[in-house]
Amino acid sequence: MQLLKLNSTLKFMKLRIPALILSPSLGSLVVNQLNWGLDFTGGTLIEVGYPEAAKLDEIRIQLDRSGFGDAIVQNFGSSQDVLIRLAPRDGVKAVEIGDQVMVSLREDGQEVDMRRIEFVGPNVGEELTEQGGLAMLTALICILIYVAMRFEWRFALGSVSALAHDVIITLGLFSVLQLEFDLTILAAVLAVIGYSLNDTIVVSDRIRENFRKVRKSDPEEIINISLTQTLNRTIITSVTTILVLLALFYQGGALIHGFATALLFGVFIGTYSSIYISSSVALLLGISKEDLIPEVIEKEGEDLDPMI
């Protein structure tokens, strides 16, 4: 049974120009940039636990008195769990930093338990930043080659534009909200690329099929017909995926909260881009029936009368 029964074709392409706007996300990425996590910046991360709800302002004052004025202090999962992030310090081991922090937190006699301590060097952080960017760039190039061979170069550029759109918008969300961007978020962004590509390939395949079947409509109308026909499948896939991600978001715990956030937003944006961005770019590049209908090659002697 279909989710929607549409008696007419939806005019998706009427909004193709406004759909291509990326300025808010690009502006935030330029001005605010990303709140890089410890995986990329390097430094020390300390998780501590309090018997009662922790007072973050007092913790910041205690750390400032001990020379850790640059510490980033935030709750982690619950009001009793606190995450402390410190910039790297030359010549000081992570264990020594952890001991100094614990002494500072316990100086007023309060019970504080250390849950974990992690250290990432700045060289490792720079390497992860470079490798993460190369991973996304390599994925986009491979997708461009595949779609160009499988469909047509205009669809290839449209698909890569849609994927780049998804990445920019998702990164823009983390930039605007200043959410921490670490390796788990990078993994989520790569997963969003895969999800969006799957949706885009389905839409592109239907468009190519309708270009060969529908002879009397112009390219814009054929794309509208194709998007309308695949709308049921797109909505069902997106809704079922979002339901799973909502469960991870609310019940998965603080460790994967950012991962689930990126995927939730990415699935929504990926669905949007598979409908608007990929098809709009292909249409703006002048996709036509001649580009998708295979040429009929006549064999030598095919037009001769076989009885002669």
Structural domain contains residue 303: no
Query: In the chain, what percentage of residues exceed pLDDT 70?
Result: 83
The confidence score (pLDDT) of residue 45 equals 84
Structural domain contains residue 61: yes
User: Is the domain of 159 the same as that of 244?
Assistant: yes
Structural domain contains residue 306: no
User: Is the domain of 139 the same as that of 221?
Assistant: yes
The confidence score (pLDDT) of residue 243 equals 93
User: Looking at 46-55, 57-66, 92-101, 109-118, which range is the least confident one?
Assistant: 92-101
Please give the residue range of the domain that contains residue 210.
Answer: 12-35+124-291
User: Is the domain of 156 the same as that of 197?
Assistant: yes
User: Looking at 118-122, 144-148, 161-165, 204-208, which range is the least confident one?
Assistant: 118-122
User: Is the domain of 82 the same as that of 227?
Assistant: no
User: Is the domain of 246 the same as that of 103?
Assistant: no
Structural domain contains residue 299: no
Structural domain contains residue 296: no
The whole-angstrom separation of Cα 132 and Cα 138 is 10
Structural domain contains residue 305: no
Is the confidence at residue 3, as pLDDT, over 50?
no
Query: In the chain, what percentage of residues exceed pLDDT 90?
Result: 4
Total of domains in the chain:
2
Q: Which residue shows structure tokens 């603080």?
A: 254
User: Is the domain of 135 the same as that of 258?
Assistant: yes
User: Is the domain of 65 the same as that of 179?
Assistant: no
Using an 8 Å Cβ cutoff, are 56 and 76 in contact? no
User: Is the domain of 107 the same as that of 235?
Assistant: no
126's tokens:
């720079």
User: Is the domain of 82 the same as that of 161?
Assistant: no
Residues 6+ apart with CB under 8 A from 119: 43, 44, 45, 93, 94
Q: How many beta carbons lie within 10 A of that of residue 123, not counting itself? A: 10
Mean pLDDT across the stretch 214-223?
81
Looking at every residue in the chain, the average pLDDT score rounds to 79
Q: Which residue shows structure tokens 């060969």?
A: 212
User: Is the domain of 99 the same as that of 174?
Assistant: no
Structural domain contains residue 171: yes
What letters, b where the CB count within 10 A reaches 16 and e where it falls short, cover 212-247? eeeeeeebbebbbbbbbbbbeebeebbeebbeebee
The confidence score (pLDDT) of residue 117 equals 84
Residues 6+ apart with CB under 8 A from 237: 199
Q: In what helix (H) or strand (E) does residue 166 lie, and over which residues does it extend?
A: helix 153-177
Residue 109 belongs to domain with CATH number: 3.30.70.3400
The whole-angstrom separation of Cα 199 and Cα 171 is 20
Phi-psi region of 228 (alpha: psi -120 to 50; beta: other; left: phi over 0): alpha
- 117 DSSP β-pair partners: 46
Structural domain contains residue 147: yes
The whole-angstrom separation of Cα 101 and Cα 90 is 16
User: Is the domain of 68 the same as that of 196?
Assistant: no
